[in-house]
Amino acid sequence: MEGHADIVVVGGGLAGLITAATAAGTDSDSRLDVVVLEGTQPGGRARTDERGGYRFNQGAHAVYLNGALRRTLGEFGIDPRGGPPAINHTSVWHEGALYPMPASARKLLASRLLGPRAKAQIAKLLPSLRKIDAASLGSLTGAQWLDSLELQPEARQLISLLMRTATYVDPDAMPISADAAVSQLQMAVTPGVRYIDGGWQTLVDGLLTLCESRGVRVETKSPVVSVRTSGGGVEVDAGTGHWTAKAVVLAGLGPANASSLLGRDGVWGDLGESATAACLDLGLTRPPSHPVAFGFADPLYLSTHCPPADLAPNGGAVVHAMRYGARGVDVDRGSLDELVAGVGINASMIVTERFLARMNVAWTVPTTSRGGLPGRPRVTVPGHDGVFVAGDWVGPVGLLSDATAASAVSAAVAARSCATTLAGAR
């Protein structure tokens, strides 16, 4: 099959659908012909799987209320319903026991996890988090910033716990830049996050509907094998045929995959390793007695996403447990099973479950070697005019899905400009 479009978007995940909807334009814009080429089915890591009435995202997902993803969706008229985590019923898991999270003055004073000096340090630091100039911290790693606070060991561990919960990255295991880690921590503390009714599939479905209304064509089962610039345009070879376009956006692909499609190794140099997680998703007959728990010394997480979000049959619950930084099937499954049992979940409560041994959380994280968030790759591709990229590793804004959304909009705007300029020149 031979095809042509003003803009071809490679990848039909969150990045690709946001890119396509933005690039196509609104009724008040000059509409462009946009095609999305997706190798399997739309949604990518934002897909939601249903098992007997229980809806599982691809691991634990939350929308940051003050993040770029929510702002972008709002501009599209998409504001999914849901609810916040049960922060008033949060526990800390340490050495096989649960302790109340010191999330209030009363709980902080009563905490058996922290000594008197550590309690005083936490009481002083937490209210001042919002005042920190995170943008000035790009030369430090998250771990170096934590060390610079000169906290008692247990106080440092508590702040590290909060940081990895916000970033999905253990700062003591990966050299994430402090500007990214601290800004994400600030956003997680206030205004917080929302779990989504129906799962993130509702976001995918909303974006697909928007794309359809703007004339975007979504071609599934069309894996792309190469992208090359040619005579003032771009050519794309896919499993279903050959496409020509004025501009192409590689959306949601990692830097290695994007480089491979362009026929060059290491287009962006060494961006560091991917962030991963081991994820255990559970559909339960009822919510656990301890709905939220975080590992203190170990980088573990457990949260009941339903309730508050609608993800299960009446009375049921959906719980996500994670280990930040996947190590191996047996060791990670063992740690997560221990945590699950620790919050009061037994075999009789489990209706369905799924273990994802190695989930890709982010293709890369911002590092000090590249200057933190401002040093991440731009949406333009060096040496490839008319080709742009979007994803969680692109652009100076945010982490995770917020980086995905922000870079997708920027890539779409750049691709539109390129396509309209070429059209005018002809």
Give yes or no: residues 236 and 355 share one domain.
Answer: no
Does residue 387 lie in a domain region?
yes
Confirm whether 146 is domain-assigned: yes
pTM: 0.96
For residue 328, count CB atoms less than 10 angstroms from its CB and return exposed for 0-12, middle for 13-18, buried for 19 or more: exposed
Residue 16 falls inside a structural domain: yes
Overall domain count for the chain: 3
Q: Do 28 and 141 reside in the same domain of the chain? A: no
Domain, as residue range, for 169: 115-189
Residue 102 covered by a domain: no
pLDDT score, position 424: 64
Length of the chain in terms of residues written: 426
Q: What is the amino acid identity at position 148?
A: S
Q: Are residues 348 and 410 in the same domain?
A: no
Q: What are the average pLDDT values for consecutive 10-residue runs of the chain, which has 426 residues?
A: 92 98 86 95 96 96 96 96 92 96 93 96 94 97 98 97 96 97 94 96 97 96 94 89 96 96 93 96 97 96 97 98 97 98 97 97 96 97 95 98 98 96 68
**246 lies in the same domain as 395:** yes
Q: Is the domain of 235 the same as that of 210?
A: yes
Domain boundary among 158, 189, 220: 189
- Of 340, 362, 384, which residue is a domain's last? 362
Query: Does one domain contain both 267 and 389?
Result: yes
- Per DSSP, the residues of 349-408 read GEEEEEEEEEEEEES----GGGTSGGGSPPSB-TT-TTEEEESTTSSSS-SHHHHHHHHH
> Are 294 and 247 within one domain?
no
Q: Decide if 129 is inside a domain.
A: yes
Q: Are residues 21 and 62 in the same domain?
A: no
- 211 and 163 housed in the same domain: no
List 235's β-bridge partners, or say none: 228, 244
Q: Does residue 226 sit in the same domain as residue 302?
A: no
Q: Let me know: does 103 contact 83? Beta carbons within 8 Å.
A: no
105 located within any domain? no
| Residue 280 counted as domain residue | yes
pLDDT given at position 99? 96
131 and 266 together in one domain: no
CATH number for position 260 = 3.50.50.60
Last residue of a domain, one of 189, 214, 242: 189
- The pLDDT value given to residue 425: 55
CATH of the domain at 75: 3.30.519.10
Read off the CATH number of the domain in which 147 is found: 1.10.405
- Lookup result for tokens 């990045």: 15
Residues 11 and 57 in one domain: no
Residue 368 domain-assigned (yes or no): no
Bridge partners of 199, per DSSP, are: none
